[in-house]
Structure 1
Amino acid sequence: MTETSDIIIVGGGIAGITVALELLEAGDKRHITLLDRCRADEFGGLARWAFGGMSLCATPQQKRLGIKDSPDLMLKDWRSFAEFEPEDYWPERWAQDYAENNRSLVYDWIIRRGLRFIPAVQWVERGLYAPGNSVPRYHVLWGTAKRLTDTLISHLEQAAARSSSKLTIQFETTVKALETTGGSVTGVQATNSAGDTKSYCAETVIVTTGGIGGNIPLVKKHWPKNWGAAPGNILNGNHPYNDGALHEATSQIGGAVTHLDKMWNYAAGVPHPQPSFDGHGLSLIPTRSSLWCDHLGKRIGPMPLVTGFDTNFLCQQVAQQEKPWSWHILNYRIARRELAISGADHNPYIRDRQAIRFIIGMLRGDPWLIDTMLSESDDFIAAGSLDELVQKMNGRTDSPYIKAHTLRDTVETYDSQVKRAPKQWNDDQVRRLQHLRQWTGDKIRTCKYQPILDNKALPLIAIKTHLISRKSLGGIQTNLHGQVLNTEGTVIPGLFAAGEATGFGGGGASGKRSLEGTFLSGCIHTARRLAETLLEQRTDT
């Protein structure tokens, strides 16, 4: 059985929705068929769960806060973090295009749709050994990415109703293969929920199926060599449908798939208390004032691990530990002020746009999140004393690795530094806390040099964490028109790609490290560039 369209879009995430929306709103009369593995109520994919942070430059928010940013500065920072290789022509071109055009292609486009960003701009990925974001750039959507998703879907439905073209959306449809004729891609093979297979034919096929982060065996296969062997237990912080099937299908027809060993995983994940699939994990934004320890209760070092500077470094250090888990040692006061979890569901005040509750939580700390995790997660442990904490921690592992005297020495050594006068501080973590607190957005979310063993800050808390998969920084190689290239660098006629499937452009636009927040916005950026190309083709013909 065969169905025919003019354009096939494979994948109903933000990138796929954006391409379809751009074409319909421009009055394109071609028939579009969008094929998505999700159910209709899941339309939007991983973005429904996402926090909604975006790396943007030269915005009104930055200007109001006195942040002097520019496309040139962003590109300089991007190249520093990316560490592009000489052969990374297309990834670097995409990076340059993002830096130069994110304001118009992403920020302005979002604002025109009635969405807005929280006024405070966050400062993430500041850099450790290599400079990262030299100024704050992380803009958070008011309503999280869920509101973005709902808004774009609503606009898509309205555009489809107004358009003289036809938009067909097939949910619960899985595409595993591309069909070719005479070297051109002419369609796909797909299977529906009943197991029936059919061919969809079109002169234009667009892949927007995400990365490989939902396929843990594939993540382990492409594990970065300089991180050591992949841990036995890696949590899945992606969408299980992001399995790399279309990467493989593209490779099978000669398409270039590059840099799959470049990953944006996170170093502190916990099993989801209400998992939606096997291995489902939550990605913590680790507290800065906690101690990050190994399986023996010793502080990981020699450089202490502190979030906010270089996520790639954190993952590499955790991956090289003897055991596939690590521990965060803190107290309730630290957790209340600093703990955060990535995603819409664990940021309800932002997701639901409850401004007053959000502001109160930022200023005073909010016990809701830590209380929820302590009650729902076995990997969040509370105790009234250090000895009790050690006993409970050992109960969460296959052997009593931690000795009370070891953990006590670790904590007391750190606390003694915190309690000294600032002129006598000689601890890298404390120095970095001092640096973080210079920026208002971080100051209100970072405790003022809080000792861990503090009777006024009880209970003590330990969090057992694992590495967790997130984004793919590599993928299907594309030129700036979104056209897929073969291994010789030549365009494959009829085949396009956008979003995470392309490593957010060119098969690896972020290089070795992301400046963070280049993912959701990267989907919009690459999708709009691709749509421009298709509209130009329509005009030419």
Structure 2
Amino acid sequence: MREMEADIIIVGGGAAGMAAAISAAEQGAEVIVFEKANTTGGCANMAMGLLGVETKMQKERLIDCTREAAFQKFMDYTHWRSDARLVKNYIYKSASTIEWLESMGVKFALPSKYFPGSEATWHIVQPKTGAPGLRAAATMIKAMTDRAEELGVKICLESPVQKLIKDDGDVIGVVAKDKDGEIEAYGSAVIIATGGFGDSPEFIKKYTRFEWGKDLFSYRIPGLTGDGISMAWDAGAARDRMDMELVFFAPNTGGYAPIELPFRQPNVFVNLDGERFYDESVVENPVFSVNAIIRQKNRTVFSIIDESIMKHYEKNGLDLINVVTSNISMDDFKQEMNDLIKNGNDVLFIADSIEELAEKTGIDKEGLVKTINDYNEACKLRDNVFNKNPKYLKPLIGPKYYALKFAPSAYGSLGGIKINYKTQAVDTEDNVIPGLFAAGTDANSVCNPDYVFVLPGNTLGFAVNSGRMAGENAVQYIKENFTEE
């Protein structure tokens, strides 16, 4: 067995792990990062941008969301279930983190809202080529990796960590494994940042409300199997709230697929009983929508439009757009629709009558016919069921009818390791586990009970900012406990 040594050992080379490595190395610490994949970045390579509050870009655009207001909005949204000092540290650090990334060469296209009712806190990364969109943050990861290597951080790829090493209650290192065998790496502090458990159906079934593939169709970034969380628990860390970063997608389409474009609108949404279940104007907020969907039978719903609504969207544009879907056109939708029709599918249904649509989808026929009749009457005057905004009331008159199935999905997991506001792992009695820190998704229990979509950019934002904090706090811990006077 080989041995390695550094001041700080980091488990995971994603956004949180790389941020921790850079912030620690900038203060002179020797750092080793163990990453089990063959590249850095993890799920951050799929992301678009991160939260920032009171950044220069916002001020230049007269975006007046203050740190105080953002903190209050965050805590109100979570009903103060979250660690207020951790949330405050994160939000108040976020502007300097944007500048910190810019100093590495990261460019941001714009600070954006996710939907009209949210704040423009989402700092979308500008890729070197192409327009901002999904996977844009991979450019940021490349810049962070280059910076870490420039600072002398040793990055060990394809080297999964198997367990933590403890000595008299303190965490002092890890056991890892690469192609040449086992490695014992010793340090004064260990930071866990392995990206959560989004690729573990077992974790999801055991620790959340869902069963993957049955009532949850979330992204699965390979390798995110809860390794770091399990290691922290084995070392005595307490389990904090665990859930999924919930949104809703058409199952098995990849999420935000072109086929969803005209259906992810304030159309008629019904459950399997054929009944409406919420004000469809709320569709712009993924969390509010998925919360409503979760309450329905089999956690399955359908968005229904007809030929006239389809033509309306083609001619006049969609009622609602967001940054994620802004690069998708109705031409993309038509292409994917034709492919699904040609190849067969179980999410898109087309019929010549409401009755036929009910038969094809499995929706209760009497319930659906009554709902559509009632809805068409409401379009003449007002919606007495949910008081839906009249501008979104469009009658379904045929001659063709379309339905797209939606179900709960998620970008990944949230939470697992309980930390304090200094990012130190704590036990069930809230006592600090000396030498053990955690950052990013593994420790992201601040979005409680829901992902705070009113301040978009929270997942990547918390990852990078908590990573920075963990790196800085680990260095401080070493200075206070191991530096000779």
Matching of residues 265-414 of structure 1 within 5 Å: 265-272=246-253, 287-301=264-278, 306-309=282-285, 311=287, 313-331=288-306, 332-333=310-311, 337-338=317-318, 358=327, 365-369=329-333, 371-372=335-336, 375-376=339-340, 378-381=345-348, 383=350, 385-387=352-354, 390=357, 393-394=360-361, 400-403=362-365, 406-414=367-375
Shift of 1:500: 0.7
Matching of residues 430-449 of structure 1 within 5 Å: 430-431=388-389, 449=393
Q: Is 1:102 matched with 2:91?
A: no
Residue of structure 1 in register with 2:67 after alignment: 71
Quick one: distance in 1 between partners of 2:214 and 2:64?
44
Q: Unaligned regions of 5+ residues in structure 2, if any?
A: 127-131
Quick one: distance in 1 between partners of 2:167 and 2:337?
54
Call closer, same or farther: CA 1:169–1:373 in 2, change over 3 Å. Answer: farther
Residue of structure 2 in register with 1:428 after alignment: 386
Shift of 1:117: 2.9
Shift of 1:15: 0.9
Shift of 1:48: 1.6
Describe the superposition over 1:107-133 as per-residue Cα deviations: whole angstroms up to 9, x where unpaired.
333444341133653436x5xxxxxx5
Call closer, same or farther: CA 1:29–1:71 in 2, change over 3 Å. Answer: closer
Q: Is 1:81 matched with 2:66?
A: no
Residue of structure 2 in register with 1:243 after alignment: 225
Describe the superposition over 1:267-307 as per-residue Cα deviations: whole angstroms up to 9, x where unpaired.
3342146xxxxxxx668686232222112332224x55732
Q: Is 1:519 matched with 2:477?
A: no
Residue of structure 2 in register with 1:21 after alignment: 22
Quick one: distance in 2 between partners of 1:295 and 1:238?
27
Residue of structure 2 in register with 1:130 after alignment: none
Quick one: distance in 2 between partners of 1:48 and 1:513?
23
Residue of structure 2 in register with 1:157 after alignment: 146
Call closer, same or farther: CA 1:472–1:334 in 2, change over 3 Å. Answer: farther
Shift of 1:158: 5.0
Would the aligned equivalents of 2:9 and 2:191 in 1 still touch at CA under 8 Å?
A: yes
Residue of structure 1 in register with 2:129 after alignment: none
Shift of 1:101: 2.8
TM-score of the two chains, using structure 1 as the length reference: 0.73
- SS across alignment from 1:472: strand
Q: Which amino acid aligns with 2:264?
A: T
Call closer, same or farther: CA 1:370–1:12 in 2, change over 3 Å. Answer: farther
Would the aligned equivalents of 2:46 and 2:134 in 1 still touch at CA under 8 Å?
A: yes
Residue of structure 2 in register with 1:205 after alignment: 190
Quick one: distance in 2 between partners of 1:63 and 1:497?
32
Residue of structure 2 in register with 1:214 after alignment: 199
* Aligned partner (choices 38, 41, 46) of residue 43 of structure 2: 46
Shift of 1:53: 4.4
Call closer, same or farther: CA 1:341–1:214 in 2, change over 3 Å. Answer: farther
Q: Which amino acid aligns with 2:276?
A: R
Q: Is 1:529 matched with 2:457?
A: no
Would the aligned equivalents of 2:111 and 2:122 in 1 still touch at CA under 8 Å?
A: no
Would the aligned equivalents of 2:41 and 2:141 in 1 still touch at CA under 8 Å?
A: no
* Aligned partner (choices 425, 428, 440) of residue 484 of structure 1: 425
Would the aligned equivalents of 1:304 and 1:429 in 2 still touch at CA under 8 Å?
A: no
Q: Unaligned regions of 5+ residues in structure 1, if any?
A: 127-132, 274-280, 351-357, 395-399, 435-447
Call closer, same or farther: CA 1:20–1:520 in 2, change over 3 Å. Answer: same
Would the aligned equivalents of 2:49 and 2:123 in 1 still touch at CA under 8 Å?
A: yes
Shift of 1:495: 1.4
- SS across alignment from 1:519: helix
Q: Which amino acid aligns with 2:371?
A: T
Residue of structure 2 in register with 1:353 after alignment: none
- SS across alignment from 1:77: helix
Shift of 1:390: 1.2
Shift of 1:525: 0.8
- SS across alignment from 1:515: coil
Q: Which amino acid aligns with 1:300?
A: F
- Over the aligned positions, Cα root-mean-square deviation in angstroms equals 3.6
Call closer, same or farther: CA 1:486–1:538 in 2, change over 3 Å. Answer: closer
Shift of 1:242: 2.1
Would the aligned equivalents of 2:112 and 2:120 in 1 still touch at CA under 8 Å?
A: no
Call closer, same or farther: CA 1:310–1:44 in 2, change over 3 Å. Answer: closer
Would the aligned equivalents of 2:172 and 2:189 in 1 still touch at CA under 8 Å?
A: yes
- SS across alignment from 1:323: helix
Would the aligned equivalents of 1:8 and 1:204 in 2 still touch at CA under 8 Å?
A: yes
Quick one: distance in 1 between partners of 2:396 and 2:177?
55
Q: Which amino acid aligns with 1:4?
A: M
* Aligned partner (choices 187, 193, 202) of residue 173 of structure 2: 187
Paired residue total: 460
Call closer, same or farther: CA 1:160–1:61 in 2, change over 3 Å. Answer: closer
Call closer, same or farther: CA 1:110–1:61 in 2, change over 3 Å. Answer: same
- SS across alignment from 1:378: coil
Residue of structure 2 in register with 1:264 after alignment: 245
Matching of residues 446-525 of structure 1 within 5 Å: 449-453=393-397, 460-503=401-444, 508-516=445-453, 517-525=457-465
Shift of 1:537: 5.4
Percent identical: 20
- SS across alignment from 1:46: helix
Quick one: distance in 2 between partners of 1:267 and 1:472?
14
Quick one: distance in 2 between partners of 1:8 and 1:429?
55
Residue of structure 2 in register with 1:5 after alignment: 5
Describe the superposition over 1:406-434 as per-residue Cα deviations: whole angstroms up to 9, x where unpaired.
434323433443354xxx45453632x76
Would the aligned equivalents of 1:214 and 1:469 in 2 still touch at CA under 8 Å?
A: no
Q: Is 1:418 matched with 2:392?
A: no
Quick one: distance in 1 between partners of 2:76 and 2:158?
41
Quick one: distance in 2 between partners of 1:382 and 1:341?
23
Would the aligned equivalents of 1:297 and 1:327 in 2 still touch at CA under 8 Å?
A: no
Q: Which amino acid aligns with 1:17?
A: M
Quick one: distance in 2 between partners of 1:390 and 1:526?
49
Quick one: distance in 2 between partners of 1:182 and 1:3?
20
